Amino acid sequence: MHQFLPYAWFQNQCVPFEEASISIATHALHYGTGAFGGMRAIPDPQNADTMLLFRADRHARRLSQSARLLLTDLSEEIILSAITAMLRANKPGQPVYLRPFVYTSDLGIAPRLHDIETDFLVYGLPLGDYLSPEGVSCRISSWTRQEDRSLPLRGKISGAYITSSLAKTEAVQSGFDEALLLNSRGKISEASGMNLFLVRDGQLITPGVDQDILEGITRESVMELAKAMEIPVIERPVDKTELFIADEVFLTGTAAKVTPIRQIESTVLQSQHPVMQALKDRLIAISEGRDSAYEHWVTRIATP
């Protein structure tokens, strides 16, 4: 059972989590007309009264852009202001996961995005490792990742996650930890809620934005760091068989962080991940405020 943070941001103010409730007739509940983000906040190792957010500006920008895909205006400033107020109200003192969510709050029954009320909320919960840091097993899902021509995949649209939910449950119920989805062209797209990387001959390879992936912020950060560390980065289509012979395969995401894949279907993969580990160590140092070169990736919020 989840233990949520005591306060949520709801209807433009911080309220006790139990009071942040919506009607069973809420439009977004029925039609998936919402968009969400995911952010991690951790206590500053040097100051217990400060929380550190990794790339808060990029998360706010993506959520604002996602809202625009729903024909809703939600500025980055409003998002960050709400998150700041919510963290100060909760004073978590431990690593937490934050879920900002913009949604159609109207009680109408017509599926539409015009002439409709919208709202914005934020809640959070303590969160450690979403996936095992030792590595996960994956199966190739029988479900296909949607196409951008049918859903706006560059936003984290809530309705799109039915496919992720089906794929994740299929994987777990068949004995695996996670699912890998192919796109409509038969190429690797992403996992149920994470981007994918592989390493071959010292090159870092990942499916490009033309492969119907979510433009992940951890993914973007990994690529930027790799280039700074002089690791060649290639964005291109990836066939599933290429994963079986790769030197390293791993997943990235806000919840998943950086997690190795140890097995795909019946194939056990390489157990050593030197490139992934170097990138992971650098990301941890940055997120903990210990890398001055990337101080601009960290937002500090005082919670006295």
Whether 264 contacts 243, CB under 8 Å: yes
| DSSP code, position 214 | -
Evaluate if pTM is beyond 0.85.
Answer: yes
Could you name the CATH architecture of 136-287?
Alpha-Beta Barrel (3.20)
Whether 120 contacts 32, CB under 8 Å: no
Alpha carbon distances (Å) from 148 to 167, 168, 192 = 18, 21, 16
Q: Is 115 left (phi over 0), alpha (psi -120 to 50) or beta?
A: left
Q: In the chain, list all ranges with CATH 3.20.10.10.
A: 136-287
Query: What's the per-residue H, E or C state across 236-282?
Result: CCCCHHHHHCCCEEEEEECCCEEEEEEEECCEECCCCCHHHHHHHHH
The radius of gyration computed from the CA coordinates of the chain, to the nearest angstrom, equals 19
Whether 265 contacts 22, CB under 8 Å: no
Q: Which CATH number applies to 7-126? A: 3.30.470.10
pLDDT tens digits, 227-237: 999 999 999 99
**Average pLDDT over all residues of the chain:** 96
pLDDT tens digits, 61-109: 999 999 999 999 999 999 999 999 999 999 999 999 999 999 999 998 9
Per the structure block, which two tokens stand in for 54? 């990794």
